[in-house]
Structure 1
């Protein structure tokens, strides 16, 4: 599929680490492992705002036969070290600490969020708002704040993030009147319920959200079912965006007709169209260490988002190696496009994604792509 615009708009070289929240605190060199997975919304001035995840990593994490990780504390940032013989370092993004009967890991980077203002069409960089960066400020965020998703409901902006710590791997909520100055509202979903996307509008007078709880056990569908067991995109409702009740009916489930969605999760916050709620989501085909991430779409019923009006088994966005070719020396991962934001631009959508866990990608997708046509299927 060809697009009128499909480019990287923000990459590690665009980040000034002298203005990082970590600057001057560790006494060692850090670098930007990735500037990616941007939440996106439209500001009052018409420009687009990306809330970019900056994964800031130690340039030399191994010292004196120990590998180190960065951790926030109320007194500042510190480094913790583990003996190399205790850990598995095959994945550059993390290291595993065996033992205990379950998976325990630490990250090779700490993530914070950087507001980046783009032109109204998303094609040009306008301003980087370092003074409004969002960094860890609570114990439950001590290993970082990740993967923002921004929704505007009425006159209020709501931003969900993943907060990472030994205490829990939870979803936290921020709110704002202008999408620049944010208030931390606290934890809204507990352990490993990732990819929480608040609908850009209410359903039946309630806030609605897509969620994606993770576990290590899933019960089997009966033989011949059209569905495959595994992580799925669930739904929750709330009277106030703080207290969420899981919806009794399932949301978007992995389909047995394709292995490309063997694992799945939410992408961009659902937006209302003439046909219902448009939602972009990611499916992961098993391959290599992390799999192949692609972006898919579905239209959900406007009054009951558990009903899929139509969808398509073909990806709308694929990983694009040609985009990362100019920065290939920074690559540590491939085969990943991770969509995280959408904005209306008249006859097309502006779609924001993370490319290769490295940079921010903006794509203009014609609205006709999501119309009833050959290749689309009922939910």
Structure 2
């Protein structure tokens, strides 16, 4: 699908690592592996705020027959080293540690969040707020803070992030009354429950969220089912946005009619439209090591979001090689668009995505697409 406005607005070279939270904690040179997957919201002054995930990686990760990872510890940062003969480095984003009896991995980068203020249309950078960067602060975040999603509910902003550590792979919540100061509320969803998207408004007096629990085992649907077994988008409700109860009915599930969404997860926080809750989500077509990530849409019933009112098997956004062509020397994977934010732009929506796990992409999508 073609869109009138579709461009990259922030990329690795736009980050000044001299102002990184990691600066001064070790001597080894780092670089920006990616500046991507931005949470998005509108500020009280009318501008937009992207909360950009900056994946900061060692320029020379392999030294003396070992591969190293960055870890936050007690307010500083340390480097850990594993012998090369004990790891699998086929995925540039991580390395798998062999011989554990189950999957164990470490990351080739540590992520922190950088607030980037955009003009009201989302197409130019107004300011980069390094003094408001969000970096690990607790042991459950020691390998990074990833993939912010920002929802405005009433007069309060709620931001979910993935916190990565050996303790757990969890979802944490930050809250703010002004989108400047963010309070860390702690862990709200436990192990490997990613892509938590809080609805931008209450349903039946409760907070609602989409979740995406991961596991190594899924039970089969009947052979003639319209659904495919595997990761799906679930729902949960809460009285306070802190304590969440999974909803009994399923949410959005992978459809047996298409292989392009064999794996799926939430994208942008659901917002209310005249037809119901508009949700943008990602579907992954199996291909190579990573798969092909595309963005899709569904509209959910305003009173019971487990009911899908409308959807489309055709992708809303696809990976755009032409956008990343000027960044060819920095590419380390392709075939990925990962939508993470949406705001109202009048007759259109301003949609923020990560492109190729490398840069921030802004797309204007006409509201008529979802009418």
User: TM-score band (shorter)?
Assistant: over 0.9
Deviations 1:337-374 (A, max 9, x none): 00000000110000000000000000000011112xxx
Distance, in Å, in 1 between the alignment partners of 2:107 and 2:339 is 22
Distance, in Å, in 1 between the alignment partners of 2:132 and 2:332 is 29
SS in 1 for 2:32: strand
**Aligned twin of 2:13:** 13
What TM-score does the superposition give when structure 1 sets the normalisation length? 0.97
**Aligned twin of 2:84:** 84
- Point out 4+ residue stretches in structure 1 off by more than 3 angstroms: none
Q: Unpaired segments of 5 or more residues in structure 2?
A: none
What TM-score does the superposition give when structure 2 sets the normalisation length? 1.00
**Aligned twin of 1:53:** 53
Distance, in Å, in 1 between the alignment partners of 2:173 and 2:33 is 25
**Aligned twin of 1:203:** 203
SS in 1 for 2:288: coil
Summarize the alignment of residues 1-379 of structure 1 with structure 2, pairs less than 5 Å apart. Answer: 1-371=1-371
Distance, in Å, in 1 between the alignment partners of 2:166 and 2:120 is 40
Distance, in Å, in 2 between the alignment partners of 1:110 and 1:318 is 27
Two-structure CA RMSD over aligned residues (Å): 0.5
Distance, in Å, in 2 between the alignment partners of 1:100 and 1:136 is 27
Distance change (3 Å), C-alpha of 1:75 and 1:302: closer
Q: Unpaired segments of 5 or more residues in structure 1?
A: 372-379
SS in 2 for 1:368: helix
Cα shift at 1:75: 4.2
Deviations 1:235-289 (A, max 9, x none): 0000000000000000000000100110000000000000000000000000000
Distance, in Å, in 1 between the alignment partners of 2:269 and 2:36 is 17
Distance, in Å, in 1 between the alignment partners of 2:331 and 2:121 is 27
Aligned 8 A contact 1:115 1:180 in 2: no
Aligned 8 A contact 2:75 2:137 in 1: no
Aligned 8 A contact 1:340 1:352 in 2: yes
SS in 1 for 2:260: helix
Cα shift at 1:181: 1.2
Cα shift at 1:305: 0.0
Deviations 1:61-110 (A, max 9, x none): 11111100000001410000001111111111111001222110000000
SS in 1 for 2:60: coil
Distance, in Å, in 2 between the alignment partners of 1:303 and 1:296 is 22
SS in 2 for 1:326: helix
Deviations 1:276-318 (A, max 9, x none): 0000000000000000000000000000000000100000000
Aligned 8 A contact 1:118 1:126 in 2: yes
Distance, in Å, in 1 between the alignment partners of 2:295 and 2:86 is 37
